[in-house]
Amino acid sequence: MPTSHLPAPIALHHPEQLTTLVENRTVYSLEAFELNVFETHQTAHRVPLSMGNLVLTTMLRGKKVMHLTGQPAFEYLPGESVIVGENQTMVIDFPEADEARPTQCLAVAISTDTIRQTVDLLNEQYPRAEEHLPWQLDTTEHAHFRNTPELTGTLERLVQLSRDTGRAKDVLAGFTIQEMLVRLMQTQARQLLFHNYAQHLTSHRFAHVVQYIKQHLTEQLTVEKLSELACMSKATFFRVFKRELGLTPVEYIIQERLAEAKRLLRIPLSTVTDVCFRAGFNNTAYFQKLFKQYEGVTPGLYKKQYGV
């Protein structure tokens, strides 16, 4: 099962504090952004919502069904985020919401100027590996995604700053919203390459790296070999890969091996030791430590929970 990365929980309102049972809204306004917390405590369908500015929404509790212009409807669950473009209207269903199972969602509205300044800064000073693919926020193809730990951590800090009463909170919020925009673009870059690398083999050097890692997962994978595939020096490859995708090549290899380990653990007759080596790890103690660190449970417990 995919790991969900949820920001720290936000307390729900008591029923008597609600002004409406459908999309009750709490607003925190700062100079750099506006943070909204929406709660819904009853079933509802085809509820329209428009925020004006570009918005990052993140599900915290419950389930929605989202209808966005030009896209098929999709389920929206905790641990996921959706970027909604400027002046775009969301139409939302709440098929399971009730007093015992309310939905709760964050919505961070960001001004066009803030986005443009951040994107311009990145393109001028920290360009991506391919010049023809500049930094930008995609509000269509890669607008719905699972949260990364880095994005979740940034969202948690935005929530904390929104509630802060200190004099410097707007200054800190300005830096944090820039970080969040970078994390968003890195998350979208991961979607582009990690899931659709075959479509970009002729246009993106990192697509070749991703393909090679997936095809040689059980072999020894060195940064030297990967940097050769990317036609970069080792130092440049390591730096640009992390800057563009938000994780190091080594972290990506671990991520892929753990994903393969989870797939193998769900096979009835597999053993933890066998899975360790078949997924590309060469030390069972190291494998178990990493698995617990990333997944929150041991490989053995994961197998008991999800083994078919």
Q: Which amino acid is at 145?
A: F
**Domain final residue pick, 194, 214, 248:** 194
Phi, psi of 218 (to 5 degrees): -90, 0
Percent of the chain with pLDDT over 70: 98
pLDDT in tens, 120-168: 999 999 999 998 889 999 888 779 999 988 999 999 999 999 998 888 8
**Token duo for residue 4:** 């969900």
Give the model's pLDDT for residue 192: 86
Q: What average pLDDT does this structure show over 75-82?
A: 95
Give the model's pLDDT for residue 12: 94
Give the model's pLDDT for residue 4: 58
Instruction: Check whether residue 115 and residue 234 sit in a common domain.
Output: no
- Greater confidence (124 vs 306) lies with 124
d(CA 237, CA 224): 9
Cβ–Cβ < 8 Å for 205, 130? yes
Does residue 7 lie within any of the structural domains? no
Does residue 298 lie within any of the structural domains? yes
205 is in which domain, residue-wise? 197-308
Instruction: Check whether residue 204 and residue 289 sit in a common domain.
Output: yes
pLDDT band at 81 (very low <50, low <70, confident <90, very high): very high
Does residue 5 lie within any of the structural domains? no
Give the model's pLDDT for residue 2: 44
Instruction: Check whether residue 173 and residue 212 sit in a common domain.
Output: no
pLDDT band at 222 (very low <50, low <70, confident <90, very high): very high
Give the model's pLDDT for residue 99: 93
Give the model's pLDDT for residue 139: 86
* Total domains present in the chain: 2
Give the model's pLDDT for residue 59: 96
Instruction: Check whether residue 190 and residue 227 sit in a common domain.
Output: no
Cβ–Cβ < 8 Å for 42, 21? yes
CATH (domain of 163): 2.60.120.280
Phi-psi region of 235 (alpha: psi -120 to 50; beta: other; left: phi over 0): alpha
Give the model's pLDDT for residue 308: 63
Does residue 4 lie within any of the structural domains? no
Instruction: Check whether residue 87 and residue 207 sit in a common domain.
Output: no
Instruction: Check whether residue 42 and residue 164 sit in a common domain.
Output: yes
pLDDT in tens, 246-298: 999 999 999 999 999 999 999 999 999 999 999 999 999 999 999 999 999 99
pLDDT in tens, 83-110: 999 989 999 999 999 999 999 999 999 9
Give the model's pLDDT for residue 140: 82
Q: Does pLDDT of 306 surpass 90?
A: no
Instruction: Check whether residue 163 and residue 304 sit in a common domain.
Output: no
CATH (domain of 282): 1.10.10.60
Q: What average pLDDT does this structure show over 30-46?
A: 95
Instruction: Check whether residue 69 and residue 90 sit in a common domain.
Output: yes
Percent of the chain with pLDDT over 90: 83
d(CA 277, CA 289): 14
Q: What average pLDDT does this structure show over 225-251?
A: 95
